[in-house]
Amino acid sequence: MGYKVVVVGATGNVGREMLNILAERQFPLDAIAAVASPRSTGDIIDFGEDGQTLKVHNIEHFDFTGWDIALFAAGSGPTKIYAPKAASQGCVVIDNSSLYRMEPDVPLIVPEVNPDAIDGYKKRNIIANPNCSTAQMVVALKPLHDAAIIKRVVVSTYQSVSGAGKAGMDELFNQTRAIFVGDEPEQSKFTKRIAFNVIPHIDSFLGPDSGMDGYTKEEWKMTAETRKILDPDIEVTATCVRVPVFVGHSEAINIEFEKPISVAKAQSILREAPGVMLIDKREDGGYVTPVECVGDYATFVSRVRKDPTVENGLALWCVSDNLRKGAALNAVQIAELLGRRHLKKG
């Protein structure tokens, strides 16, 4: 006996990755439905490696009654309309958008970090998936926090264009090609040219009434979500930067602890931590970059070293596939956790 699962936004980057991961991880399925906007209705998409195909259903007419889990990768607009509908029809929603993340009665889950929080899903029948940059960071921070209690985190992100969807990937490709052939690169998705450039601006700027004047919403998400998932007492300051990489987010993280922790101890902890792959050789190429992480499940940690500017400090480098752990994989892992703890069909 398995689950009846709906993937909403199935034709987008994250939706397709959700379908891939459900198949890869052999999620126990009785039925699978691909759902998207009216313009994709009737499209045929692949599922798994055995030649199975799915016909895309129109979200406007889809009935969630009798379905167990809906993985939403449709953005906040459609989610605001259709997630409550699915939840009210008895289908548990796992939402990848930012819409519900900071709602106090909606659990925000990274299974390696706060699995017990999933027990609160019944309040609204909705579970939130965190921001891509937050997800990989808290996987790396959790075991270190358990060992030495984190006080403060300073993080700079290097976020790939796939975090902005297909339009972001297309813009990097088209601008790069235009520059190589001597054409003027066209700019529409990003606020500056992204090809051969970096942009210290993701999402909208916050105003003086926000308490974080000058920060962007993406930076606020990392702060607020880390506190909700990991510990409300942790101070976080983030600088989020878009870089000309197609897939894979990177982060340079400085951590201040309450208790002393050596580099060797941190490496030992990370080596055994769930979801973490430590690759930390102090030699040329002895670290992970976005190119190597694409298609992998792990959050990779490299360059663990002492931060001499604070009493108990470490610095490290963290890389993960943002379409996987940062989005689709985490959503499927939440579904697996939900099944083990509550639905118990598989």
Q: Which residues are identified as catalytic?
A: 132, 249
Strand order in the sheet with 57-58: 57-58, 29-36, 3-8, 69-72, 92-95, 126-128
Residue environment code for 234-243, b if the CB has 16+ CB neighbours within 10 A, otherwise e: bebebbbbbb
Distinct helix (H) and strand (E) counts, the chain: 8, 14
Q: Are 137 and 155 in contact (CB under 8 A)?
A: yes
Rounded-to-integer distance, Cα 301 and Cα 288, Å: 7
58 φ, ψ (degrees, to nearest 5) = -80, 120
Residue type, 86: A
Residue type, 289: T
Which DSSP helix (H) or strand (E) runs through 158?
strand 150-159
Rounded-to-integer distance, Cα 92 and Cα 153, Å: 33
| 269 three-state secondary structure | helix
Q: Are 147 and 269 in contact (CB under 8 A)?
A: yes
